[in-house]
Amino acid sequence: MTRHGIKLTLSKGDKAITARVIVEAATDQASFSWDNVSYSKAFDGAGLHGLTVPLKDPKDGTRERAYVFVPATPRIDITNKTSREAGRDVRVFILVHEFIHAAGPDNDEHTLEDVFCYPGEIVKGDTAAADRLKPWGGLGKEMPPYYLICKTVTNLRKAWQSTGVGECKTEEKK
Ligand SMILES: [Zn+2]
């Protein structure tokens, strides 16, 4: 992302109360309580996508924190709860996708081409380590490397106006 002018730093908070982004691996329920907000929703812990719930500061509408839920046991066949668990690269894909939500863009800004795609399609490997996710529909490649198209970069920049909504140039395809 740095290459496209978005500087993103991940740092581990020392306690949940001061963290801006809280990540949890959920099995069947996505729940949290914060200030006067109590949230609970059924969640598929065997699925291939997560859920991010942003909270805004009631005073100025700025984004205060985000709760990120990722599936605890994502499976290669979401219709078969006894199928093998998906590998690390699939889990990282899901997490990167949700971190983009945590940074601003919502479901209306999903794409068909990059890590911010919806839906994703699993490419089953012979082993969990070889499993990959790719955008459904054939417009994107298997990841990793996890990549962003200009549309997503621009939407991220819009969410962070101070970084400037500059022009994003699509690199030439070889
Ligand atoms: Zn999404």
| Distance between Cα 107 and ligand 1 center (Å) | 5
Q: Give a yes or no: residue 7 inside a domain.
A: yes
Helix (H, G, I), strand (E, B) or coil at 66: strand
Q: Give a yes or no: residue 167 inside a domain.
A: no
CA-based end-to-end distance of the chain: 20
Q: Residue 67 has what pLDDT?
A: 96
| Residue ranges of the chain whose pLDDT lies below 50 | 173-174
Q: Give a yes or no: residue 29 inside a domain.
A: yes
Q: Residue 117 has what pLDDT?
A: 98
Q: Give a yes or no: residue 171 inside a domain.
A: no
Whether this model's pTM surpasses 0.85: yes
| Distance between Cα 156 and ligand 1 center (Å) | 13
Q: Give a yes or no: residue 24 inside a domain.
A: yes
Q: Residue 174 has what pLDDT?
A: 44
Q: How far apart are CA 170 and CA 151, in angstroms?
A: 10
Q: Give a yes or no: residue 166 inside a domain.
A: no
Q: What is the span of the domain harbouring residue 47?
A: 2-160
Return the H-helix or E-strand segment holding 150. Answer: helix 150-159
% of the chain exceeding 70 in pLDDT: 89
Buried b (16+ CB within 10 A) or exposed e, 145-156: ebbbbbbbbbbb
Q: DSSP character for 107?
A: G
Q: Residue 165 has what pLDDT?
A: 60
| Distance between Cα 65 and ligand 1 center (Å) | 17
